[in-house]
């Protein structure tokens, strides 16, 4: 099929869509005003996880005595941390550039504006421009940090998640506004680095999108590690006083102040819908993002919007999957997508989640069963020195697994067994027949599933009434 496809944005949605379309024979132009890889690779997922690994090594060193290894002292060299992080990012960006080139995709470095349903204007740094034609257009312009209208939010030292990645020294006191994924990941990282971390969250709990049992177990764990959490608390203002920032907040017990060397604004992200000329060609959008149908097609036929800009799931892997799905659909392949998107949070211990939450099932009157298996009863977890946490599994009245929630070691890896199980609508009996290797963390998932039918071997039976 001879197709000309223009992709706006070279992040994990855009470059994946471009590559898949090129694989299928399309002539693809990819427009990106900055570096390929987008926010995820350059200013988000990857550099954050590089820092997370640094924090993980530091935690291991702090707990080395448990393993019979006595360390007199160690020091943190921020410059080397930054060099390692930047090296990882550069390696991956180079890899994406090579992949794009190998697939004969034309890359245009500039800012894109929609001229018509079949044309895009590219404005270059020197103010020159060109207009290119396309049969289909894929908008993958991503998202950016949302800055709330707080008095003093623009004071020096009040920074976004992108800015904190390039820290030159570890703040002694770090106040984080926002207890969502971004805020809590940085809370864990800088707590490990030695900062005194305080989190302010307007909602009744941090990470409110998670199953309640996860948050209930995580919150005291974080406090034990020295992270102060103020939920149901609003930020009134940020004031600069000499070298410090004074954050005025109001909670259940009234107004009080917090002090920080830095204040991280982690109040979420907003879709990048401005500057695309959406109104001019009639593409519908709102503050949540560009409106799309079940195929990610916008209100203008032939133009699609994928990833953060459509506001459905602000996750890199969701954007990539949508990119593949749209590219295949344009090229005449019926791609059956999935709305089961795993969510992973890189904190200590790790969190991952997929499918139904118990609170939602209960509120909707759905019949369900739950089972938990503690990592403290798993041999591999104890050998790792990471026995904190559990795997929670939820099944429906037909014994199908419909939800999995993990707090514990390698949660971001373990969730992918749940991805297969839930997508394929497997029942407890199906999983029971699958042998899990010993000793592994995956055994905890197996035992949790067996617990749904009270058949778990390493779990004490429930008391009979």
The pLDDT assigned to 1 comes to: 65
Buried b (16+ CB within 10 A) or exposed e, 347-370: bbbbbbbbbbbbeebeeeeeebeb
The architecture in CATH of the region 349-451 reads 2-Layer Sandwich (3.30)
**CATH for 158-267 (3.40.50.170, 3.30.750.24, 3.50.50.60, 1.50.10.10):** 3.50.50.60
What is the chain's pLDDT, residue by residue, as a tens digit (465 residues)?
Answer: 689 999 999 999 999 999 999 999 999 999 999 999 999 999 999 999 999 999 999 999 999 999 999 998 899 999 999 999 999 999 999 999 999 999 999 999 999 999 999 999 999 987 799 999 999 999 999 999 999 999 999 999 999 999 999 999 999 999 999 999 999 999 999 999 999 999 999 999 999 999 999 999 999 999 999 999 999 999 999 999 988 999 999 999 899 999 999 999 999 999 999 999 999 999 999 999 999 999 999 999 999 999 999 999 999 999 999 999 999 999 999 877 788 999 999 999 999 999 999 999 999 999 999 999 999 999 999 999 999 999 999 999 999 999 999 999 999 999 999 999 999 999 999 999 999 999 999 999 999 999 999 999 998 876 655
The pLDDT assigned to 40 comes to: 94
The pLDDT assigned to 336 comes to: 77
162: CB partners within 8 A, 6+ apart: 39, 43, 44, 145
Q: Phi and psi of 108, rounded to 5°?
A: -115, 125
**CATH for 4-145+270-330 (3.40.800.10, 2.40.50.140, 3.40.710.10, 3.50.50.60):** 3.50.50.60
- CB-CB contact of 389 with 340 (8 Å): no
- Candidate list 416, 436, 438, 458, residue with the active-site label: 438
67-to-57, 59, 64, 322, 385 alpha-carbon distances in Å? 14, 13, 5, 45, 8
- CB-CB contact of 11 with 138 (8 Å): no
Here the tokens at position 95 are 């890899």
Identical topology for domains 4-145+270-330 and 158-267: yes
Please state the separation of Cα 85 from the chain's center in Å: 18
340-to-159, 181, 291, 334, 356 alpha-carbon distances in Å? 33, 18, 20, 18, 10
416 is catalytic: no
Tell me the pTM. 0.95
Domain boundaries, the chain: 4-145+270-330, 158-267, 349-451
The pLDDT assigned to 459 comes to: 86
């Amino acid at each position: 099929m001879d197709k000309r496809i223009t992709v706006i944005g070279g992040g994990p949605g855009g470059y994946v869509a471009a590559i898949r379309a090129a694989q299928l024979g399309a002539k693809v132009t990819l427009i990106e005003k900055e570096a390929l890889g987008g926010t995820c690779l350059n200013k988000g997922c990857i550099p954050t996880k590089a820092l997370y690994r640094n924090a993980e090594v530091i935690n291991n060193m702090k707990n080395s005595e448990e393993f019979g290894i006595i360390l007199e002292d160690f020091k943190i060299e921020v410059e080397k941390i930054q060099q390692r992080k930047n090296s990882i990012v550069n390696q991956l960006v180079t890899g994406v550039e090579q992949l794009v080139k190998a697939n004969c995709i034309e890359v245009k470095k500039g800012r894109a504006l929609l001229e018509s349903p079949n044309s895009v204007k590219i404005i270059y740094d020197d103010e020159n421009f060109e207009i290119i034609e396309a049969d289909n257009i894929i908008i993958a312009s991503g998202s950016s940090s949302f800055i709330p209208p707080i008095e003093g939010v623009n004071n020096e030292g009040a920074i976004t998640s992108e800015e904190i990645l390039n820290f030159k020294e570890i703040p002694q006191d770090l106040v984080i506004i926002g207890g969502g994924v971004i805020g809590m990941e940085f809370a864990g990282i800088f707590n490990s680095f030695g900062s005194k971390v305080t989190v302010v969250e307007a909602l009744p709990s941090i990470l409110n999108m998670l199953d309640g049992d996860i948050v209930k177990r995580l919150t005291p764990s974080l406090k034990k590690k020295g992270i102060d959490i103020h939920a149901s608390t609003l930020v009134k203002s940020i004031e600069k006083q000499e070298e410090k920032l004074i954050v005025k907040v109001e909670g259940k017990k009234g107004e009080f102040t917090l002090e920080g060397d830095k204040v991280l604004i982690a109040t979420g992200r907003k879709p990048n819908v401005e500057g695309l000329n959406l109104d001019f060609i009639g593409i519908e959008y709102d503050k949540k993002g560009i409106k799309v149908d079940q195929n990610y097609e916008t209100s203008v036929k032939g133009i699609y919007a994928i990833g953060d800009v459509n506001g459905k799931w602000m996750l890199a892997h969701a954007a990539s999957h949508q990119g593949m799905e749209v590219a295949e659909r344009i090229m005449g392949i019926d791609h059956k997508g999935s709305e089961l998107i795993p969510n992973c949070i890189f904190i200590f211990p790790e969190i991952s989640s997929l499918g139904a939450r118990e609170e939602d099932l209960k509120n909707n009157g759905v019949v369900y069963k739950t089972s938990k298996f503690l990592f403290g009863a798993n041999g591999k977890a104890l050998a790792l020195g990471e026995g904190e946490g559990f795997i929670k599994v939820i099944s429906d009245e037909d014994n199908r697994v419909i939800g999995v929630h993990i707090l514990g070691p390698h949660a971001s890896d373990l969730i992918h067994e749940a991805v297969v199980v839930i997508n394929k609508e497997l029942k407890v009996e199906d999983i029971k027949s699958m042998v899990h290797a010993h000793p592994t963390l995956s055994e905890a998932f197996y035992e949790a599933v067996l617990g749904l039918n009270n058949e778990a071997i390493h779990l004490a039976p429930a008391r009979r009434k």
